[in-house]
Structure 1
Amino acid sequence: MSEDRRRDGHGPEGRRRSAVVVGAGLAGLTAATGLAAHGIEVTVLEARDRVGGRTHGIEAAPGSRVDAGAAYLGDKHTELHALIAELGLKTAPTTMLGASRFALGSAAENDARDASADDDCTAAATREGRFPPLDAVALGDLFERLAELTAAVRPEAPWLTPDAERLDTLTAAEWAEQHLAHPDARLFFPLFLGEMCAADPADISVLHLAFYLRSGGGLRYLNAFAGGAQQDRIDGGAHQLCERLAERLGDRVRLGEAVRAVHQDDDAVTVHTGRGAHRADVAVLALPPLLADAIAHEPALPVPRAGERTARGCAVKVHLVYPAPLWRDHGLSGWSVNARGPLLSTVDDSPGSGIGVLTGFVTGAEAHRFGALTPERQRAEALAQAARLFPMLPEPIGFHVTDWLNDPYSQGCYAALLGPGDWTRLGPTLTAPHRRVHWAGTETSTAFFGLMEGAIRSGRRVVAEILDRS
């Protein structure tokens, strides 16, 4: 009988159970709607004036929104696909037809210029496909070494990986210094790392690098558009996921309530915000680890959520809006890779409604530099670089910067960067509840860590944990 009551949201005495969920991103709202579906009284507290967390849609043109945050998905993202279908949304393929542009500053770049390209395209190398005009043997060696690291890691428990202590002590920058002899491999490695996980090589351990690649489906899958993790986008923007989940909860979602403290006693947990206190049987903290640690916990956490070397994901997204995807008229895909910033890569994110959108990614150390500039200087640098890469384009009709690195309620994007010592010290308690407090968020998922799929899976895990509480 008690088991039946747990499944329908009631406790051992038949009283309806309650939960406070902190964070109205994809993980938090997945948890909240799942708990509510089982009859548990749910309140969601969100510091921002919007739901969505690290999914965020901005209006690039009237009636057209683009993803300023998480955007891409592939066929391995099964929970995400199921949620998209459940919410009545659709996907659209990521457009990657045409040649790529490379400004890598190497001799190989000059040799790779396409003689058939337009005369105004010669400021950077034009090349079919996405493989950069760098030494193929050197890059092959880089990818083979990364594949060996990835294959050795234990994705369900990285801290139990053979030689975990050493791998978690060594930074990716130190590993590159030891193993990458060719200058082209050394040039490309931080660009690749920025694209994959928005990290500076000095910020993450080799264990985290290997885990991140393995968790996301493998090196080849994570890096691919067609058939890979970047194959599709959600038509109309990924922010719709959270908006539709929040609609199911109605006024149970409370915006503008930043959580300051979480206090527990023998009977309940009380979550304190600037507007009041919310008491419940359990709490779900669906927050990045740096934010979770910034909350005052009583009793104190036995193990922190972040370590001394845990860093913010280094990502700034720049959207340049044009009257149409004009680069396609010149046989270009909109994809570029660049050794110098601010735009270390660009991709065609045009929404299919007529306008053209080039999304620029500013990652790693460059994100710190770019984020410290004035808005005027950011615009001037980004537009000057876009003009060098795509000189056939007019000045954009719209320009947007979304700085996740300095966002107070995200503390970085795509996800937190686990630095030296983090996995071996913090990994074993990654999902362990702290009495009545449960943890969600993409950083708590060992499958598809840092991705929307990981966020959803973490929310579903928490629902199962709470339903199983006696």
Structure 2
Amino acid sequence: MTGSDGSATTPPDRSAAAPAADGPGRAARAGRVSTAVVVGAGLAGLTAATGLAARGIDVTVLEARTRVGGRTHGLLVAPGRQVDAGAAYLGERHTELLSLVKELGLDTTPTAMHGASRFVLGREGTTRDGRFPPLNAVALGDLFELLDELTAAVRPDAPWLTPDAARLDSLTAAAWAEQKLTHPDARLFFPLFLGEMMAADPADVSVLHMAFYLRSGGGVRYLNAFEGGAQQDRIAGGAHQVCERLAGRLGARVRLGEVVRAVHQDDDGVTVHATAGAYRADVAVMALPPLLADAVEYRPWLPVRRAGERTARGCAVKATLVYPEPLWREHGLSGWSVNAEGPLLSTVDDSPAEGGVGVLTGFVTGREARRFGALDPRRRRAAVVEQAARVFPMLPPPTALHITDWVNEQYSHGCYAALRGPGDWLRHGPTLTAPHRRVHWAGTETSTEYFGLMEGAVRSGHRVVAEILARG
């Protein structure tokens, strides 16, 4: 990873001139891969690293943070009780992640959704059964039909080859909504939905990216569902344990506090320049979000940068509100809420299954996340506590509040995933996974399956292992 602010260090005039892959002679000289450096100790990087190590390749993992896990992160909320401050949810279709969870001796626990929901979409809050908001059902039905039409038309394996891709990739989701959504309830709900699904402001993403993201994740209804959907379960004790256990298999080969500045290649290998020095290997795996990957200096220069001028950070902040126990359940509530105004645009019950503490996780997403992230810590906390009192007036103030700001996190540059803006897919899609000579790419943003999810990260790690084994 890099320690920069995400601005490109690669001169654009030289970037476009470099070859994209090894020529025939270079591949013949390369021989069998015996050493690899993996940059980034999140799910993708550690999946790749442990996969390579299991096949006899000598692996070194470099991580800029002082912890492993990337965009998974455990938060201690009570003695022996941790919850997810980052990526958290999974469903039955997330087969590679579920297989890994089982292999590592971890368990899943259902996301608790028993009871009524709270909605504050106007001046007064409303309590009602289920998760469907008290808005015009026909208008929301029309919205979801339009989204279904878009997702059905996109090519999930190659979005840039979707019919009418150029137009769809030039139009923002905000402009699309302005054209297509006529009912005020649909216009109110659309940015809330997109924030929950993608951590996106509609102005930041192209229609092509929105449609691809929804299709890649299993469709609108699967992504939006708890029971039977993509948010059905959590990993008991926190998703961060997956990375911790994978790193445990590698031991001292995982090196923390190593900020990668440059990756230089020649005919015989690759040299990764980091905080503690240079690491030499046959290949490198860059398991970084695209904005961070672009901040590394590459020689030869990249033929196409990993991000475009309109690529944005995923806009998500998590507020973890801690209570002595899940007190909302005593009032027949599930802990789920949807709110038209921030900072908390939605909340969910993330209380540990073992009990001992109650946890409401609040999501600050989209444009609201950027506004909230610019506040000083005191004003952030006050805004969250004040809103929680309005949404759940029957609850006492939380006993603790933790705020995890992924928008401004130095070594993530956003969460859930980078947001592809207008022009990004047509420009960057064809080179999404293509190795740059001895450099391979991993990360959920490189996966056309479950893009932006933990499942996508794991699948990208498996793909990179197969690519590297095929080299020699």
Query: Which bin holds the TM-score, normalised by the shorter protein?
Result: over 0.9
One-letter identity of the residue aligned with 1:33 = T
Gaps of 5+ in 2: 1-27
Alpha-carbon shift at residue 14 of structure 1 (Å):
8.7
The corresponding residue for 1:90 is 107
The residue correspondences of 1:404-443 to structure 2 (distance < 5 A) are 404-443=406-445
Alpha-carbon shift at residue 310 of structure 1 (Å):
0.1
1:154–1:161 contact (8 Å) kept in structure 2: yes
The residue correspondences of 1:376-395 to structure 2 (distance < 5 A) are 376-395=378-397
One-letter identity of the residue aligned with 2:330 = D
- Mapped pair 1:27 → 2:44: yes
TM-score (norm 1): 0.93
2:47–2:246 contact (8 Å) kept in structure 1: yes
The corresponding residue for 2:225 is 224
Q: RMSD of aligned C-alpha atoms?
A: 1.2
Deviation track 1:112-141 (CA, whole Å, cap 9, x = no partner) reads: xxxxxxxxxxx5100100000001111010
Alpha-carbon shift at residue 392 of structure 1 (Å):
1.2
**Partner Cα distance (2:122, 2:147) in 1:** 24
Matched position secondary structure for 1:53? coil
Matched position secondary structure for 1:435? coil
One-letter identity of the residue aligned with 1:320 = L
The corresponding residue for 2:369 is 367
1:268–1:280 contact (8 Å) kept in structure 2: yes
CA gap of 1:381–1:13, structure 2 versus 1, over 3 A, is closer
Alpha-carbon shift at residue 12 of structure 1 (Å):
8.8
Alpha-carbon shift at residue 363 of structure 1 (Å):
0.2
The corresponding residue for 2:311 is 310
2:33–2:283 contact (8 Å) kept in structure 1: no
1:16–1:39 contact (8 Å) kept in structure 2: no
Q: Which has the higher contact order (CA 8 A, sep 6+)?
A: 2
**Partner Cα distance (2:32, 2:405) in 1:** 45
The corresponding residue for 2:165 is 164
CA gap of 1:395–1:18, structure 2 versus 1, over 3 A, is same
The residue correspondences of 1:182-331 to structure 2 (distance < 5 A) are 182-331=183-332
The corresponding residue for 1:109 is none
TM-score (norm 2): 0.93
Matched position secondary structure for 2:294? helix
Alpha-carbon shift at residue 452 of structure 1 (Å):
0.4
CA gap of 1:438–1:128, structure 2 versus 1, over 3 A, is same
Aligned length: 444
- Mapped pair 1:341 → 2:358: no
- Mapped pair 1:464 → 2:466: yes
CA gap of 1:359–1:168, structure 2 versus 1, over 3 A, is same
Percent identity between matched residues is 78
The corresponding residue for 1:125 is 126
2:38–2:60 contact (8 Å) kept in structure 1: yes
The residue correspondences of 1:32-71 to structure 2 (distance < 5 A) are 32-71=49-88
Alpha-carbon shift at residue 391 of structure 1 (Å):
1.0
**Partner Cα distance (1:15, 1:402) in 2:** 43
**Partner Cα distance (1:56, 1:163) in 2:** 39
Gaps of 5+ in 1: 1-10, 107-122
Alpha-carbon shift at residue 277 of structure 1 (Å):
0.3
**Partner Cα distance (1:347, 1:128) in 2:** 15
Alpha-carbon shift at residue 16 of structure 1 (Å):
6.8
CA gap of 1:218–1:13, structure 2 versus 1, over 3 A, is closer
The corresponding residue for 1:4 is none
1:16–1:41 contact (8 Å) kept in structure 2: no
